[in-house]
Amino acid sequence: MSQVLISARDLAESLLGRNPPSILDCRARLGDGDAGRRLWEAGHVPGSLHLDLDRDLAAEPGESGRHPLPSREAFTGTLQRLGISPHVPVVVLDDMGGQLAAARAWWMLAVWAGHPDVRVLDGGLRAWQEEGGELVLGQEVRPEPSRWQPSFDDRAIMSADEVFSGRELKLDARSEERFRGEVEPIDPVAGHIPGAVCRPSSANLTETGRFKTPEVLDGELPRDEAVVAYCGSGVTACHNVLAYTIAGRPLPRLYPGSWSEWIRDPSRPVAHGGLR
């Protein structure tokens, strides 16, 4: 899983090759479930298909958090509808350096579902346009459905009880202010899981919105025998999992429910302040 990023230039070249990738546009805005579709309709990479954060990459919010994983059956249906198969490479993108839904899509496809060739467009839509890539309008072309039946790997996931009782390093991808409990714009309780370390997903990127080099990430990412990644709802946490992969480190496991699930049980402890 060493090749997890693709440049805009390489993506453009691959579209002219014999086995062009399936491109999934994962743009989204938290709090606006229709924004991703509107953004896609306003202009998208030629041939790309819209992949929706709330409808395709998550189940309905509830006791398992704001963006719980969909069932295996539901996600399999999404992949088949989009024509995704292990024989065709996949490129996922958003317009936030992968911090929002692109990293989540990468994790669900590559780590959870086991697709052998999924890459994130480094720099996202901005990089595509800076390289001279065009954006097109028009109706989505319906691909030929696939019959892929993924072999899901639930070992990549941790439950709230496992996080509570486990010794893994808990890595929080939210901002430092949210981690400390100084602000909480989304969830009803502020703070973080006790013992956690703050690693904002934005710290994985340069000022241009591209990932830092493997060497820089390897020097910055916290080290421990085992790591579990979480955030507000299990979305930006995937960005930290991706960063560990780029750095050549063992993959952290993901706590999909994250903070939005953790705080639903008042018996679970909550910490404030600090960055650890």
**Which DSSP category does 201 fall into?**
G
Query: Which listed residue (26, 198, 231, 238) is catalytic?
Result: 231
231 is catalytic: yes
Task: Return the structure tokens found at 25.
Answer: 């546009």
Burial call 232-245: b when 16+ CB within 10 Å, e when fewer: bbbbbbbbbbbbbb
Burial call 6-40: b when 16+ CB within 10 Å, e when fewer: bbbeebbebeeeeeebbbbbbbbbbeeeebbbebb
What is the three-class DSSP state of 205?
A: strand
Degrees to nearest 5, angle at CA 9 with 133 and 218: 125
Degrees to nearest 5, angle at CA 248 with 246 and 249: 110
Active-site positions read 231
